[in-house]
Amino acid sequence: METAKKHGLVARIFHWGFILVFIYALFKQLDNIDQLSEPGLLRFEVIFAAAFLVLLAARYTYMRVTMPSALPEETSVWMKRAARAGHLAMYISLSMIAISGLLIGALYYMGGPDAVGMGIAMFLHENSVLAAYASIALHVAAALFHRLKGDGIWSSMVPVMTEDKARSE
């Protein structure tokens, strides 16, 4: 059985670093939209959302250019398509969190919490977060599936409990 191609150090830093950025974003999230009335916080939120988008675009571009897939060649077509769809869902939902956050910031700046379109922007933001949670959960489930399958996908990105260590024990 062929095993997965290993991701390089930069890809692993992008992967795990982005997880840390996302966790930070979850902990620093606002409790109430009225907090945006503080100009410094509004500015920080806009800068953070823009930086989040730039980092996400850089990660996507780097991963597409250097290694579109770590799956072994013998992987079924449906599994390759499912992996691609899962990754795209993650990138789209994560980018929509930042885009809708920027929209909320712009609307708040122009008209406060009752600005025209704020309800739609909030709906997009909240549902993008839910979609991101779902796509991340599916990504983790797929990683665990591959760990159990022992095809090297887990070890291509995760530095612990690798298949190589399991085989040598």
Contacts of 167 (CB under 8 A, 6+ apart): none
Full-model pTM = 0.86
Residue 125 CB neighbour total at 10 angstroms: 19
Measured CA to CA, the distance from residue 119 to residue 82 in angstroms comes to 33
Tens digit of each residue's pLDDT (9 = 90 or more) over 57-76: 999 999 888 876 778 788 88
1 part of a folded domain: no
Domain of residue 28 covers 9-168
2 part of a folded domain: no
Tens digit of each residue's pLDDT (9 = 90 or more) over 8-55: 888 888 889 999 999 999 999 998 899 999 999 999 999 999 999 999
Written as one letter, the residue type at 6 is K
What is the number of domains present in the chain?
A: 1
Cα 168 → chain centroid: 33
